Amino acid sequence: MNTEIFGVITMYVLMVLLAIPLGRYIAKVFEGQRTWLDPVLNPLDKLFFKLSGVKPEKEMNWKQHMLALLTINLVWFLFSMFVLMNMSWLPLNPDANPSMSADLAFNTTVSFISNTNLQHYSGESGVSYLGQLVLMLFQFISAAAGIAVCAVVFNAMKERTTEKLGNFYSYFVKSCTRILLPLSIIVAIILAFNGMPMTFKGKETFISLQGDTVNVSRGPAAAMVAIKQLGTNGGGFFGANSAHPLENPNYLTNMVENICIILIPIALVFSLGHILKRKKLAWMIFGVMTVGFLMFLIPSIYFEMKGNPSITHLGIAQNLGSMEGKEVRFGSAASAYWGITTTVTSNGSVNAMHDSFTPLTGMFAMLGMMINSFYGGVGVGYLNFYIYIIIAVFISGLMVGRTPEFLGKKIEAKEMKIATIIALLHTFLILAFTALSSHLYVGDPKTYAGWLNNPGNHGFSEMLYEYTSSSANNGSGFEGLGDGVPFWNITCGLVMIIARYLPIIGPVAIAGILAKKKYVPETAGTLKTDTLTFGIMVLAVIMIVAALSFFPALSLGPIGEYFH
Amino acid sequence: MSKRTRQNKLFEPSLVKEALKQSFVKLNPRIMIHNPVMFTVEICTAFMMGVCIWIFAGEKSQGGLAYNILIFLILFVTLLFANFAEAIAEARGKAQADSLRKTREDTPAKKVFPVGEIYVDEVKIVPSSQLKKGDVFICETGDTIPMDGEIIEGLATIDESAITGESAPVIREAGGDKSSVTGGTKVLSDRIKVKVTTSPGESFLDKMIALVEGASRQKTPNEIALTILLAGFTIIFVIVCVTLKPFGDFASTPITMAAFISLFVCLIPTTIGGLLSAIGIAGMDRALRANVITKSGKAVETAGDLDTLLLDKTGTITIGNRKATNFWPASNIDEKIFVEACALASLADETPEGKSIVELSGMNPNTFSTNGAKFIPFTAETRSSGIDMPNGIHIRKGAFDAIRNMVGKSGNHFPVDTEERVKTISSNGGTPLVVSQDSTVLGVIELQDIIKPGIQERFERLRKMGVKTVMVTGDNPLTAKYIANKAGVDDFIAEAKPEDKMNYIKKEQQGGKLVAMMGDGTNDAPALAQADVGVAMNSGTQAAKEAGNMVDLDNDPTKLIEIVEIGKQLLMTRGTLTTFSIANDVAKYFAIVPALFIVSIPGLQALNIMRLHSPESAILSAVIFNAIIIPLLIPLALRGVTYKPIGASALLRRNLFIYGLGGIIIPFIGIKLIDTLVAIWF
C-alpha cells in the first residue's frame, strides 16, 4: 500500500481507538462519577466556584443555561476587546507589535469567543504574547462552552420528564479542567519535545548562509497549538498556521495535531451512548458522520494525489500529487486528510493552503463546512446533527404512521419551528452574505479590486469560502481574499456571532422543551432511531436539505472551475 | 346483514365538475394564503404574467414570448391542480356527508306543546326545521324521526338502515343506554316520546360537514408542524434563488426571470404542499366511509398513535351474549328433573342467557303451568333469580357463591362434584350458574362465550402495530383470563365497574400511553371523555356521544381497530408524499442548474446527466413534471398509503425505498420523457 495512504488510515484508526475510551471518560465526568483526576482537580474546581460564588449543585432549566452562556460570553467579549485594542502598551510585548483597530479587534474577538478562529491578522506581527495568551484562554473557554452545552443536551435527552438540566457552570468548569486541560498538557508536551517553541522571549536572530539577517518569530506556541487542535479552534500562533515549520515541525507532530482535530467531537458522540445508555444510537450517529466524512475525504485524497490536470497537460510528471501550496514533509494525502478533517469539524487550522487545492477538493472542504455536522465542532457539531435528526425523525415518524417522536418525546410544531429556523440559518448566512459581496464587487469592480486575487470562478469560491468558514465557525481561509478590511472584518464578525449563538440556543431549546414533555414508552409501532434505515434517512436529509441548497452556488465556484 | 356500499369511484363526474369550479374559486389569494407553499407559487405565477406583459411591451433580454407564456400557463395549471386536489377531497367528503344528511330533510314532526291552544300536552304537526333543543315530539309506527333526540317515554323498534346500512331493526327505549334516536331513522312499531337534544345545524353530522368544508376546518397539530417544515423549505429555496441573481451577475451569466421562477417553483415542495389539505380531508372522509363521524381532524390523527385499546368483551371479542351449552346435574339428581328446574327458573328471565337456557332445555315454555307462581327477579343483592311455585317449591339459579351462601344458611352442604364442576367451567372460560331447589343444589348450568372468528388475527395485527389490547368484562377473573388468552388480548379488566375503565385509562395515560375506548352508556361518559380517542356508539346515550370525540354509526365495537388504521394511513400518506416531494429536488437541480449556466460555463454540460435537449426544454420539462405529478398523486392522497403492520423499522425501510428512492429516480425518467416531447418545439 502507498505509504501516504497508510499514514492517513493509521491516523484515522488511532483517532477512533483513542476516542472510544475518551468518550467513556467524558460520560463519567458529566455523570458526576469518580475519575482518577478528581483528587488533583477537585480542589481547583472548588476554588473556582468559591471565587465566583457559583453553587455547582443548583440545577438550571434550559433558559437559565443559555442566560449563563450568554452572560459569560459578553464578559469575555468586553475583556478581549480591551486587551486587543491596547496591546501595544500592555506587558508581554517583546516584539513591540501594535494594537488592533476597532474593526479588526471586533472580528478577532468574535472569532475567538465563537470558537471560529478566523484570523484577519498574522500572529507574528499582529498580536503581542499577552494577546496570544488571551486568545489561547478563549480557545479553552469557547471549546469548553461548546462541550458544556452539549452536556446539557445529552442530559435533556434522558428518559424522564424534567426541567432540571444540571448546572451550566459546573459543566463548563469540568469541560475545562477534566477534558481540555489534561489532554492539552499531554499534547503540548509531545509537541514541545518535537521542536515547537515554548518561550516568552522575543524574536531570535541568526545570520543565514547567504549572510542575511533573519528574525525568527517564536513564543509560547506549543501550549496554544495543543488547545488550538483539541478545541476545534484552529487559530494558529503563526500566520501560516500548521503549515509553519515551528507550528508543525514533522510528520509525527502532524499526526498528533491531526488526530486532535476530531478526537473530542467523536468522543462526545460515544459519550452520548454512555450517558443515555443507548450505545447503538451513538454508533448510528458515528456511522452517518463517518459515511459523510468519507464521501468528502476519499475523492479529495484522490484528486490531490492525482495532481493538477493543467500541470499534467504541460507534460510535467506529478509523482507526489498536486504539491502547490503543500508542505513536502506532509505530502498530498496527509494534506488532503487534514484539509477535510479541519473543515468537517469546525477546526479551521491548516497544514496546506486550501486556495491551492484542486477545485473539487476545495468544494468538499466547503461542503464539510456547509453541513458542519459530520463530526463538527466540539459539542456544537452534535448540536447541528441533532437538528437534522429532529427533521429526519419528523418525516420518517410520519412515514411509519405515528406522530413523530424522538427518544420517547413527541415532536410538535414548536420544536419544528425552531429546527427549521436553525436548519435554514446557515444556508441563509452563507448565501446572503456571498450575494452581498458579489453584488458590491460587480457593481464597482475598481473600488473592490483589492478583495480578489483571482477572477472568475476561483474568485467567487474565495468569497463563498470566507462566509462558509465564518458561518460554520470554522475559521480556515481560502487565502487569496483580501479580508483585512472593515467590510470583511465586520460582515464576517456578524456572521460568526449569529452562526455561533443561534445554532446553540436552538437545539438546547428543543432539547429543553422535549425534556419537559411526557415520556412515551417505546412500542412495536415506535420508530427506532438506532437503526441503519434511520441512519440512511438522516444522511439523505442532510444531503438533500443542506448540501443540495448550495448546488447552484458551488456550480459557479469550484464545479465551474473544475469543468473549465 | 346487508351493508349499504359507500364505495363510490374516486372521480365521479358530478364531483369532478364541482371540484373544477372550486379550483378556480380557490385561486382567491385570501384562501390561498392558508397554504404558504402554494401561495408563493401564486405570487410567482402573477410575476410571470408581468414578465409576459413586459416582453410583449418590447423587452428583449427575457427570452421568447411563447416560451414565457408557456411557463406562465404551466404555473397557472400547477395552481389549479393543487386546488383541484383539495376541492375533489372536499367534494367527496361533502357528498358522503350529504348522503347522510339527505335522510334528515324536512319531515313533519308531531310536536308536543306542554300548554297548547286547547289542551295541555297538545300535539301539533310542525316541520322538523322548527324543532329546537329541549322540544318534545311523538313518533308512532311508520313515522320518520325528525330530529336527533333521547327517548323520554316508551319503547320502539326502529329501522336505522338509513344511517347505518344495517337492515335489522333495533330496539330503543327510555332510560338505560339505548335511549338515543337519530333523525332520519324510521319507527317500525310502538310509540315513543322524544326530547330534542341538538339545535338545528349542530348535530354531529353538521359538525362533520363543517369540518370537511373549508370554513371551519382547522389544521391539526401535526399538519401545522408539517406546514412549518414545508414553509422552511420554501424559505431556503427563496434564499437559494434570490442569491443566484448576484452570483449570476458575478459570473457574467444573465439568468432570465422565467428560469429563476421555474427553478424556485420546482424546488419548493409543491407536490406535498398541493396535496396536504386533500390528505387531511381524505382521512376524515375515510372515517366517514367507515361510518364513523369524527368531531375533529385531530382525533383521526391521534388514532394513528394509539397505544392501548379498551375493548368490551361482549360484541367485540365474543359474539353477542353467553349461551347455555351444558346442564351438569349433581351426582344424586335425575337429569330430567334438573333440566326442568333450570327451564322453570329461567321462564321469566328475559336476558339472552335466560332465553338460551330455556332453548337448550328443549322444553316448550307454554307447557308449564305457572299459574300462581311468583317470579323472583335478579337483584344485585341476592345475585340470583328464580321462581316460587304455587306448590311451595322454591327454585333459584345464580352465581356459585350466592347459592352456596344460601344453601349453607339452611344447613345443607354444597355437593363436592358440583363444586368441582363449577371450577372446571370457570377455568374453561365458561360461566357457571348453580341451580337449587329448596336449598338443595340440583346442579350447574354451563354458559359459554363464543369468540368471534378471525378476532385473534386482528389482535395479532394490532400487536404488530404496537397497540396493546385490553378486554373489559364483568366476568370473574378466571373466566376473563381464559377468554383473554383464547382471543389473544394482552390484558383484561375483570369484574369491571365503570370506574375501573376510568382508572385503567388514567393509569395508562400516566405512563405516557394514548388510550382509546368505545362505550355507549351514560356511565361510560367520563371514561370516554378521559380517553384520547373515545368512540361513542350512535345508539348510546346523548351524554356518551357528547363525551367522546367520534361517533360510530354502525354501533360496531370492532370499529376501533379500523379507526387506528385510518389514523396511521393519514400520517403515513403525509410522510411518504413529503419524502417523495423533497427527493424530487435532486433530479430538478440536475435539470435546471446546468441549463442556467450552460452559456457562461459550457463545461457544466457535464452536469446535464439527463442529456436534456436545450436549456429551454430542460426548464420546461422540469416545470411540467412538477405540475403533472400533483394530479397523478391525487388518487394516492385520497386513498391513502396502504398500512402494513410489519414493524416500524421495516415499514420505514419499505416506504423509504418506494417513496424516497422512487422520488429520486422517477423525476429523472419523467423529466427526460417530457424533454423528448418538448424538444420537438424548443
User: What would the DSSP string read from start to end of B203-217?
Assistant: SHHHHHHHHHSTTTP
Rounded-to-integer distance, Cα A552 and Cα B585, Å: 13
pLDDT digits (tens, 9 = 90+) for A248-275: 999 999 999 999 999 999 999 999 999 9
Please list the residues that pair with B180 across neighbouring strands: B150
Q: Is A284 within a domain?
A: no
Q: Torsion-angle region of residue B119: left (phi > 0), alpha (psi -120 to 50) or beta? A: beta
Closest in B240, B467, B512 to A552, CB measured: B240
Whether residue A545 lies within 8 A of chain B, CB to CB, comes out as: yes
Check A402 against B242: CB less than 8 A apart: no
Indicate the pLDDT class of residue B462, thresholds 50, 70 and 90: confident
Q: Do the domain assignments include residue A360?
A: no
Closest C-alpha among A310, A355, A302, A360 to residue A332: A302
In percent, the amount of chain B with pLDDT more than 70 equals 93
Q: How far apart are CA A425 and CA B265, in angstroms?
A: 21
Query: How buried is B421 (Cβ within 10 angstroms: 0-12 exposed, 13-18 middle, 19+ buried)?
Result: buried
Q: Which helix (H) or strand (E) holds B433?
A: strand B431-437
Instruction: Specify the pLDDT at position B305.
Output: 85
What Cα–Cα distance (Å) separates residue B137 from each residue in B124, B173, B175, B184, B542?
A: 9, 15, 17, 14, 17
- E strands within A200-333? 204-207, 213-216
Q: Residue B437: which pLDDT band, with cuts at 50, 70 and 90?
A: confident
**Does A299 map to a domain?**
no
Q: Nearest CA to CA, how far is B246 from chain A (Å)? A: 5
Phi and psi angles of residue B266, each rounded to the nearest 5 degrees, phi first: -70, -35
Report pLDDT for B166. 62
pLDDT value, residue B212 = 67
User: Residue A442 and residue A437: Cα distance in Å, rounded?
Assistant: 9
From the list A340, A316, A320, the residue with the least C-alpha distance to A331 is A320
For residue range B502-538, what is the model confidence (pLDDT) as tens digits?
889 999 888 888 899 887 777 778 888 889 999 988 7
- Asked whether B197 and B541 are in contact (CB, 8 A), the reply is no
Per-residue pLDDT of A298-351, as tens digits, reads 999 999 998 887 788 888 878 788 888 898 889 899 999 999 999 999 898 999
Interface-testing mutation among A395, A399, A462, with chain B (most B C-beta atoms within 10 A): A399
State the nearest Cα–Cα gap between B209 and chain A, in angstroms. 25
Contact check, Cβ <8 Å, A401/B236: no
Residue A312 domain-assigned? Answer: no
- Between β-strands A405-406 and A409-410, what pairing exists: parallel, antiparallel or unpaired? antiparallel
pLDDT of B208: 67
A411 and A526 assigned to the same domain: yes
3-state helix, strand, coil in chain A (%, to 5): 65, 5, 30
Q: How confident is the model at residue B106 (pLDDT cuts 50, 70, 90)?
A: low
- Among A262, A277, A292, the domain boundary falls at A277
For residue B411, name the pLDDT band (cuts at 50, 70, 90): confident
Q: Which of A427, A423, A426, A430 is nearest to A464 (CA)?
A: A430
Taking only the tens place, the pLDDT of each residue in B162-203 is 666 666 678 888 877 778 888 778 888 888 889 888 776 666
DSSP per-residue codes, B393-414: -EEEEE-HHHHHHHHHHTTPPP
DSSP 8-state secondary structure symbol assigned to residue A179: I
- Residue B240 near residue A549, CB atoms below 8 Å: yes
Q: Residue A467: list chain B partners with CB under 8 A.
A: none
- Tell me the average pLDDT of chain A: 91
8 A C-beta contact, residue B599 and residue B677: no
Within 8 A of B656 by CB-CB distance, chain A residues are: 396, 399, 533, 536-537, 540
How many structural domains does chain A have?
2
State whether A264 and A407 are in the same domain: no
Which DSSP symbol is given to B122?
A: E
A265 lies in some domain? yes
- B460 in reach of chain A (CB within 8 A): no
> Model ipTM?
0.91
Pairwise CA distance, residues A117 & A127, whole Å: 14
Q: Is residue A424 part of a domain?
A: yes
B10 touching chain A per CB within 8 A: no
pLDDT given for residue B113 in this prediction: 84
CA distance B256 to chain A (A): 15
| Domain stops at, among A238, A259, A277 | A277
Give the separation between CA A491 and CA B547, rounded to whole angstroms.
59
Give the model's pLDDT for residue B448. 84
- Looking only at the bridges linking them, the beta strands covering B468-472 and B170-173 are unpaired
Would you place residue B6 in the very low, low, confident or very high pLDDT band (cuts 50, 70, 90)? very low
Provide mean pLDDT across the span B398-407: 86
Q: What is the set of active-site residues of B?
A: 312
Q: Which of B237, B605, B652 sits opposite A534 (nearest CB)?
A: B652
Q: Is the dihedral of CA A474, A478, A479, A484 positive or negative?
A: negative
Q: What is the pLDDT of residue A328?
A: 87
Rounded distance, CA B284 to CA B291, Å?
A: 11
Distance CA A561, CA A558 (A): 5
The pLDDT tens digits of the residues spanning A283-293 come to: 999 999 999 99
pLDDT band at B216 (very low <50, low <70, confident <90, very high): low
Does A365 have pLDDT greater than 90? yes
A149 neighbors A377 (Cβ within 8 angstroms): no
Share of chain A above pLDDT 90, in %: 64
Residues in Cβ contact with B445 at an 8 Å cutoff, skipping those fewer than 6 apart? B324, B326, B327, B328, B342, B357, B397, B432, B433, B434, B435
Cα–chain center distance at B203: 18
Note down the domain range covering A39.
3-204+215-277
> Which of B218, B274, B230, B284 lies closest to B640 in space, CA to CA?
B284
Over 70: is that where the pLDDT of A1 sits?
no
| pLDDT at site A179 | 94
Burial of B590 from C-beta contacts in 10 A (0-12 / 13-18 / 19+): buried
What is Dmax (Cα atoms) for chain B? 116
pLDDT in tens, A49-86: 999 888 988 999 999 999 999 999 999 999 999 999 99
What is the predicted pLDDT for the residue at B4?
Answer: 40
Q: Which is nearest to B667 in space by CA: B609, B586, B607?
A: B586
DSSP A337-371: HHHHHHHHTT----SS-GGGS-HHHHHHHHHHHHH
For residue B336, the 8-state DSSP code is: H
Among the residue ranges A5-19, A182-196, A269-283, B640-654, the one predicted with the least confidence is B640-654
What pLDDT is stored for residue B205 in this prediction? Answer: 67
B520 within 8 A of B177, measured Cβ to Cβ = yes
Boundary of a domain, candidates A230, A249, A277:
A277
A175: Cβ contacts below 8 Å, ≥ 6 apart: A143, A144, A145, A147, A148, A151
Q: What's CA A192's distance to the chain center, in Å?
A: 24
* Global pTM value: 0.85
Interval B341-387: pLDDT, tens = 888 888 877 777 788 888 888 887 777 767 778 888 877 777 788 88
C-alpha cell at B409: 344458611
Q: Are residues A269 and A403 in the same domain?
A: no
CA-to-CA dists, residue A193 to A100, A129, A395, angstroms:
33, 21, 52
Strands A213-216 and A204-207, sheet pairing: antiparallel
A36 touches chain B (CB under 8 A): no
Do A19 and A164 fall into the same domain?
yes
Q: Kindly list the residues from chain B whose CB atom is less than 8 angstroms away from the CB atom of residue A544.
A: 582-583, 585-586
Q: Above 70 in pLDDT, residue B8?
A: no
Q: Touching check for B567 and chain A: CB below 8 Å?
A: yes
Given pLDDT bands bounded at 50, 70 and 90, which one contains residue B2?
very low
Cβ-contact B91, B54 below 8 angstroms: no
Do A136 and A223 meet the contact criterion of CB atoms below 8 Å apart?
A: yes
**Within a domain: residue A405?**
yes
Largest CA distance in chain A: 79
Can you give the pLDDT at residue B1? 33
Residue A236 maps to a domain: yes
- Mark whether A111 and A239 lie in a shared domain: yes
Q: What percent of chain A has pLDDT over 70?
A: 100
- Considering only residues 385 to 404 of chain A, which have any Cβ-Cβ distance to chain B shorter than 8 Å? 391, 394-403
**Cβ B480 vs Cβ B449: under 8 Å:** no
Which residues 439-468 of A have a C-beta within 8 angstroms of B?
439, 441-442, 456-457, 459-460
